[in-house]
Structure 1
Amino acid sequence: MPFTLANISGRVALVAGDEYYDLEAVSQGSLGSDPMGALESAGQLAELTTGLSAHQPTGSLADAVLHAPVPTPRNSYGIGLNYRSHAAESNMTVPEAPLVFTKFPSCIVGPNDDVELRSERVDYEGEIVVVIGPGGKDIDEADAWNHVLGLTAGQDVSDRGMQMASKPPHFDLGKSFDTFGPIGPVLVSTDSFADLDSVRVSTHINGEERQNDTTASLMFSIPTLVSYLSRITTLQTGDLIFSGTPEGIGAVQGLFLADGDVITTTVEGVGTMTNRCVRISDHGHPTPNFPPR
């Protein structure tokens, strides 16, 4: 049974249509209010979803304050150059194996939180984010979807100056400033999607479409990524994988984010995030004009 989870002001809730139901209340206390704890209980979440009609909704999503559906992941991974079109626009060689970096978990924020800019070379990267369910080691690719709890939308916001401040580039630092990992608006279970191999992600800046593609264009599929990472590190419930961004990034077009810009990110079957950019200071590091990654 499909289910949708939301983090409402720090309390986990099940979502049905435009309404949400506090999980602790509808489970009669068998499940708590902690969004991270709920990720361990996929079976109960599905069962409770079937009985939501017997409960009064806690409130309307339109009136709710949405936080990151996975607020404190143990690990957060990013995949670079995973769309061939993005590799081409960046003038980069297509990788022979997944190009993996880390986005520090401290960068994760909610679907409507501000993105804080610290330079004039900050870029957007709309992505589909994988949320690990049952963890595991040495997961077979054929079994990988059984280790995925669900999908959400994300932005792999990137400070290109910091990213390219040294050789080799700082993939992790340039992509891990505070607020550089908005995710949401909700977490949707994998069985909610008609075709997991063709989920669409798009990015608009101030209403102008910049990115639009589907997971059908990934060079390394989500099952491949899950299997690949699990052979290096044991995956745990709540770990995040930012699966890669399609073509259309700002650096290639000379269209970096500026104070007041609005990033709108939509993942088909999940929903839309809206993040406003706020220029708060300068990080004071050089911003060489190297090609984007």
Structure 2
Amino acid sequence: MSFARLVRFISTDGKTYIGDAILPSGTVDARKATQAYVIKGDIFAKYEVTKEAKPIVKLLSPLAWNQIPTVRFLGLNYAKHAIETKMPKPVYPVLFFKPVTSIGGPTDDIPVPVMAQIDNETDYECELVVVIGKKATNVSEAEALDYVLGYAVGNDVSQRAWQIRKGGGQWGLGKMFDGWAPMGPALVSSKLIKDPQNLQIFTKINGLQVQSESTSDMIFKIAKTIAFLSQGSTLLPGDLIWTGTPSGVGMGRNPKYWLRDGDVVEIGLENVGTIKNKVVYEKPKSKL
């Protein structure tokens, strides 16, 4: 039996497990699960969903760092977002990467280091996250979704000063920080998501909704993106593809709306669930 909503979690014995979330009736959100059936084996090869249920104390990111070969991101992949940023609609996917250390859990704090507090331009970006399940090289658009293991939702936290003005034209410096890609709450099997291009996605800051859109507004649909990225560049099991953010980001608003110390960011995706993370500004180290 294959998993439905894979979670990685710490249980009451202090150990970390992967499991299939046992959801309360009437919800699809793994953050509301209190138990999960333990999964044994390799989720990218052969595994078993056991009947052993373990209590969930804390949800972690669905995949550990050592399970993720690369973390790819698309920029400007929603039509309305390209308009709000006053940037041209891309002809080809705009690609950038984050280190695996940026991956955080669905309830982890978002740490803002002193370097990222320059100009206080920290922004939020709700995104649908694709997890590749098997090696993909030169695949066609028609077969691309067959390579998807599942979906999650994430926040591509961005520091606009470093991304746009101080990074020499490269986005990496504004995107690289530890914990700046929290995701989850579960890895939802692709078998449960019949049409990933017809899902509502949103962001709330301290309860105020600031982003709300359908994934149908993507410029490069998921199948096209996977096919394109696999041309001459092999996608591996565990690779993450973050598929861009819709309109409503802080830098696109008037007045601009930046994240502040203590803000609570909630990111949600229809049929997948929500993540909820607190922004925490790190204090400068005192001089001896």
Instruction: Return the TM-score normalized by structure 1.
Output: 0.84
Provide, for residues 40-61 of structure 1, a one-character-per-residue CA deviation record: whole Å limited to 9, x for no partner.
Answer: 34xx45xx4xxx6xx35222xx
Match among 8, 16, 36 for residue 20 of structure 1: 36
> Measured at CA, do residues 161 and 154 of structure 1 come closer, stay the same or move farther in structure 2, by a change above 3 Å?
same
Residues 167, 174 of structure 2: 8 Å contact kept:
no
**Does the CA-based 8 Å contact 1:260-1:278 persist in structure 2?**
yes
> 1: CA distance between counterparts of 2:45 and 2:94?
29
Match of 1:261 in 2: 263
CA distance in structure 2 between the aligned counterparts of 1:154 and 1:144, rounded to whole angstroms: 21
Distance 2:240 2:57 in 1: 24
Amino acid corresponding to residue 14 of structure 1 in structure 2: D
Consecutive unaligned residues of structure 2, counting only runs of 5 or more, are 11-15, 24-32
Q: For residues 227-242 of structure 1, what are the structure 2 equivalents within 5 Å? A: 227-242=227-242
Structure with more of its chain in strand, by fraction: 2
Which residue is equivalent to 2:274?
272
CA distance in 2 between partners of 1:89 and 1:112 (Å): 29
- Is 2:28 aligned against 1:5? no
What one-letter code is carried by the residue in structure 2 that aligns with 1:97?
Y
Q: Structure 1 residues 167-176 or 184-193, which shifts more?
A: 167-176
Return the alpha-carbon distance in structure 1 between the equivalents of residues 183 and 8 of structure 2.
Answer: 11
Equivalent AA in structure 2 for residue 258 of structure 1: R
SS in structure 2 of the partner of residue 278 of structure 1: strand
Secondary structure, counterpart of 1:196 in structure 2? coil
The CA deviation at 1:281 is 4.4
> Does 1:103 find its partner at 2:116?
no
Shift of 1:159: 0.6
Structural mapping, 1:1-293, within 5 Å: 3-9=4-10, 10-17=16-23, 18=33, 19-24=35-40, 31=41, 37-41=42-46, 44=47, 48=49, 55-59=51-55, 63-72=56-65, 73-117=68-112, 118-119=116-117, 120-166=120-166, 168-253=168-253, 254-281=256-283
Question: Displacement, 1:282?
Answer: 6.8
Distance (Å, rounded) in 1 between the aligned partners of 2:160 and 2:224: 28
TM-fit CA distance, 1:212: 1.1
Aligned to 1:38, the other structure's residue is in SS state coil
The one-letter amino acid paired with 1:81 is: L
Deviation per residue, 1:104-159 (Å, 9 max, x gap): 11111111111112311110000000000011110111000110000001010001
Q: Distance in 2 between matches of 1:208 and 1:40?
A: 42
Scaled by the length of structure 2, the TM-score of the pair is 0.85
Give the AA of the match of 1:16: I
Q: Indicate the RMSD between aligned Cα atoms, in angstroms.
A: 1.8
Question: Which of the two has greater helix per residue?
Answer: 1
CA distance in structure 1 between the aligned counterparts of 2:124 and 2:168, rounded to whole angstroms: 21
Stretches of 4+ aligned residues off by more than 6 angstroms: none
Unpaired stretches in structure 1, ≥5 consecutive residues: 25-30, 32-36, 284-293
Aligned pairs, number: 260
Deviation, 1:210, is: 0.7
Secondary structure of 2:177's counterpart equals coil
The answer to which of 130-139 and 188-197 deviates more is: 188-197
Aligned-partner Cα distance in 2 for 1:197–1:258: 32
Identity across matched positions, percent:
33
Compare 273-282 and 15-24 and name the one that shifted more: 15-24
Q: Is the 2:3–2:20 Cα contact (8 Å) retained in structure 1?
A: no
